[in-house]
Structure 1
Amino acid sequence: MEKFVEILADKQALIERTLTLVVEKIEAAIGTRGRCTIALAGGSTPKPLYEALSTQALPWDKLEVFWGDERYVPPNHPDSNQLMARKAWLDHVPIPDANIHPMPTDGNDPDSDAKKYHSELGKVFQVPESEFPVFDLILLGMGDDGHTASLFPQTEALKVRDRSITVGNKDGQPRITFTVPLINQARCVMFLVSGASKQPALAQIFAASAEELDYPSRLIQPQGELWWLLDAAAGEKLKR
């Protein structure tokens, strides 16, 4: 694993730097493998990144878009990660519908829908369901509690090692989420972290030792590149 940590002046600089890196990774993957597989993060931090991506001139038909996690709500629900990314980005570019792979959340059975998405990954990546697909790029956020995707502290989802997709749990509410081993197969993982409220969790994640089940982002150690892109408010204490 190659690890990179960058602390940018403010959130705008964070988004601009991430945009540059994401475009580079997309173009490199398409140049090398003929397509780019990308998994999107939810939350408020990446929204301006998606808006910026909507203005880029990229070979959209070569992009395959997935989500790293999703709230178990209908696709048109205001809390839907899919809806946010579509409104900010995907609805504004000529990407084929077949290249967009939202997590199913309409089966009234989170476990069954998680299995469906696991199967879909196997088909798109043309790997047996017993193997983990290798994403070109996975975008992640991090919560104040150190969670990422829907991998929350001290939850069962953190321990899943035999499949790509599982059910996460946030205060009793189910989520569909990538598992730790799937994320760690990626060629590149990028964390986007903004705000002073993230400082305590970041201190534990960057500490020499800490309890991984308390700070799930510590578990993310991909085979490829790991980028931590922080604004100054989030990364202030890491500079000392």
Structure 2
Amino acid sequence: MRMIVERLFKSREEMIAAVREDCLTALQQAIEERGEATFLLSGGSSPEPVYKSLSEVDIDWSSVYVGLVDERWVDFNHDKSNEAFIARTLLQNKAASANLIGMKNSAETAAEGLADCESAYQQLAQPFDVTILGMGPDGHTASFFPHAHGLEAALNPESKKLCAAIIAKQSEVTGTATERMTLTLNGLLQSRHLMLLITGEEKLKVFREAQAGNDVAAVPVRAVIQQEQVPLIVYWAP
């Protein structure tokens, strides 16, 4: 089975339209077949127009359970909260009735909140119908940051856990919010449709380098690119 399917577009508008339609098809099929759909989302500028466009689509959003791929350990009212980002981009308009399951809870640290987060995400129907990933210029995806504390556990191929606590090494990419919660590699691979959205020549170069190398700790997106369990659909535009 071919594990990477590359869809390269001439413009971001074309890419956004394709991702939107692929998400819509998968969600609608899940609702028709099983009565509900699970939709796991990343933050970031690349998927933002996809979410805003999907919010206008007339499907049974009350049957869609929206979760996060990862989260900074910050409150909902923080400007870096992924949960708040999803709430204001997707859970608007016709999608306002979707069910949003966040990762941040009342625990002081991500490590202390891990058990409750794991319990919440284990309640979601698996495999997840659609999981959307992004990738940073440092080669991270989800909150798999290079050489982060907790990265080895998050990428453990033997783990059955869905969630992991991460403390990233502070960088221009992480900013000051280095404490994170993330789906594990196992969690990401519990997906019917696993999508990676990347834009720009710089990130395409990082992606190609990730395909070629094998140091996962230095370029953690390799764990997703090089796994052989679930097809990865890569969407790219300049």
Alignment TM-score, normalising by the size of structure 2: 0.86
Aligned amino acid, residue 69 of structure 1: D
Q: Distance in 2 between matches of 1:66 and 1:94?
A: 14
Aligned amino acid, residue 168 of structure 1: I
Alignment pair present for 1:14 and 2:51: no
Please tell me whether the aligned partners of residues 75 and 105 of structure 1 are also in contact (alpha carbons under 8 angstroms).
no
Deviations 1:64-87 (A, max 9, x none): 110000111110111111111111
Q: Distance in 2 between matches of 1:196 and 1:157?
A: 30
**Aligned counterpart in structure 1 of residue 217 of structure 2, from 195, 213, 216:** 213
Q: Distance in 2 between matches of 1:94 and 1:37?
A: 14
Task: Pick which of 33-42 and 104-113 moved more.
Answer: 104-113
Q: CA deviation at 1:119?
A: 0.6
RMSD value, Cα: 1.9
Please tell me whether the aligned partners of residues 158 and 180 of structure 1 are also in contact (alpha carbons under 8 angstroms).
no
Q: CA deviation at 1:104?
A: 1.8
Question: Does the C-alpha gap of structure 1 residues 106 and 25 become closer, same or farther in structure 2, counting only changes over 3 Å?
Answer: same
User: Sequence identity of aligned pairs in percent?
Assistant: 27
Task: Structure 1 unaligned segments of length 5 or more: list them.
Answer: 126-132, 234-240
Q: CA deviation at 1:106?
A: 3.8
Match of 2:50 in 1: 49
Match of 1:230 in 2: 236
Task: Pick which of 180-189 and 104-113 moved more.
Answer: 104-113
Match of 1:110 in 2: 110
SS of the residue corresponding to residue 216 of structure 1 reads coil
SS of the residue corresponding to residue 187 of structure 1 reads strand
Please tell me whether the aligned partners of residues 31 and 37 of structure 2 are also in contact (alpha carbons under 8 angstroms).
yes
Question: Does the C-alpha gap of structure 1 residues 222 and 179 become closer, same or farther in structure 2, counting only changes over 3 Å?
Answer: farther
Deviations 1:55-114 (A, max 9, x none): 1111111101100001111101111111111111203235547x2101124421211222
Q: How many residues align?
A: 223
SS of the residue corresponding to residue 58 of structure 1 reads coil
**Aligned counterpart in structure 2 of residue 165 of structure 1, from 163, 166, 171:** 163
Match of 1:30 in 2: 31
Alignment TM-score, normalising by the size of structure 1: 0.86
Match of 1:134 in 2: 127
Please tell me whether the aligned partners of residues 204 and 210 of structure 1 are also in contact (alpha carbons under 8 angstroms).
no
Aligned amino acid, residue 197 of structure 1: E
**Aligned counterpart in structure 1 of residue 191 of structure 2, from 170, 177, 186:** 186
Q: Distance in 2 between matches of 1:170 and 1:92?
A: 35
Q: Distance in 1 between matches of 2:113 and 2:152?
A: 19
Q: Distance in 2 between matches of 1:105 and 1:201?
A: 33
Please tell me whether the aligned partners of residues 187 and 223 of structure 1 are also in contact (alpha carbons under 8 angstroms).
no
Task: Pick which of 67-76 and 198-207 moved more.
Answer: 198-207
Deviations 1:117-148 (A, max 9, x none): 101122344xxxxxxx4211110000001110
Please tell me whether the aligned partners of residues 42 and 82 of structure 2 are also in contact (alpha carbons under 8 angstroms).
yes
Q: Distance in 1 between matches of 2:197 and 2:189?
A: 17
Task: Structure 2 unaligned segments of length 5 or more: list them.
Answer: 171-177
SS of the residue corresponding to residue 85 of structure 2 reads helix
Q: Distance in 1 between matches of 2:81 and 2:232?
A: 26
Q: Distance in 2 between matches of 1:76 and 1:146?
A: 28
Question: Does the C-alpha gap of structure 1 residues 204 and 94 become closer, same or farther in structure 2, counting only changes over 3 Å?
Answer: closer
Q: Distance in 2 between matches of 1:26 and 1:213?
A: 33
